[in-house]
A and B are shown apart, each in its own frame.
Chain A
Amino acid sequence: QSVLTQPPSVSAAPGQKVTISCSGSSSNIGNNYVSWYQQLPGTAPKLLIYDNNKRPSGIPDRFSGSKSGTSATLGITGLQTGDEADYYCGTWDGSLTTDVVFGGGTKLTVL
């Protein structure tokens, strides 16, 4: 059971928009920055979004991030078949039990 809750799967057609949610609590998302990672099949995770809504160099602006309260959202517009991947949110957790936490992951299917 992950500390951060993501939907197991989402799907949309090519060219459409999809959002992936990440729900946490005041000890993690509520008081810390959120990052998002893309893991294409058989590859290592790659940073997509950091500090809630910033994109590293080379990440297209089709990918966006936002945060409100204890939840965060990853948005992907203009879906491409190459976007089919697992997506993970991550943040720092300030509780006594752990430090960095990840969501359980969301599998994006581009129909």
Chain B
Amino acid sequence: EMQLVQSGAEVKKPGESLKISCEGSGYSFTKYWIAWVRQMPGKGLEWMGVIFPGDSDIRYSPSFLGQVTISADKSTDTAYLQWRTLKASDTAMYYCAKRGGSYWYFDLWGRGTLVTVSS
């Protein structure tokens, strides 16, 4: 069974750093793009960026470029989303999602990691 297992909920203070993870299983992790998608409380889906784990090719949404870092570790079939300096406005649910095929759709989603940033 294909799965994306995300790390658990986090509560952080403004200014702190954070790295959340997304581990793939049940398929060839290095052959499919993995996207990160933000959903702020009560809001819609926002595409943050994607990574191809096979060669770590990365594309960022202009809205998130410089704000987060996307990476992947082929040896552990895991993708990461990282913040150097968290802000209260980073409070959201973060989903990882696997690209489905030749075109840009996402056929497998993680359950999400809730990040809460509060002083």
Contacts and interface: CB of A to CB of B under 8 A. Distances in A.
B55 to A, nearest CB: 17
Interface in A1-58: 2, 32-33, 35, 37, 43-47, 50-51, 56
Interface residues of A, number: 27
A88 B109 CA distance: 14
A53 to B, nearest CB: 12
A45 B103 contact: no
Nearest to B108: A47
Nearest to A54: B105
A46 to B, nearest CB: 7
B62 A98 contact: yes
Contact of B44 (A2, A91, A92): A2
A65 to B, nearest CB: 11
A90 B35 CA distance: 13
A68 interface: no
A92 B103 contact: yes
Given A45-B95, A100-B35, A88 B105 contact: no
B59 interface: yes
Given A35-B100, A50-B107, A102-B45, 15 more contacts: A32-B104, A33-B105, A35-B104, A43-B111, A44-B95, A44-B109, A47-B100, A47-B106, A50-B100, A88-B44, A98-B61, A98-B62, A99-B50, A100-B50, A102-B46
28 contacts: A2-B44, A32-B103, A32-B104, A33-B104, A37-B45, A43-B111, A44-B109, A44-B110, A44-B111, A45-B37, A45-B109, A47-B106, A47-B109, A50-B101, A51-B105, A88-B44, A88-B45, A90-B45, A90-B105, A91-B104, A92-B104, A98-B61, A99-B50, A100-B104, A102-B37, A102-B45, A103-B44, A105-B45
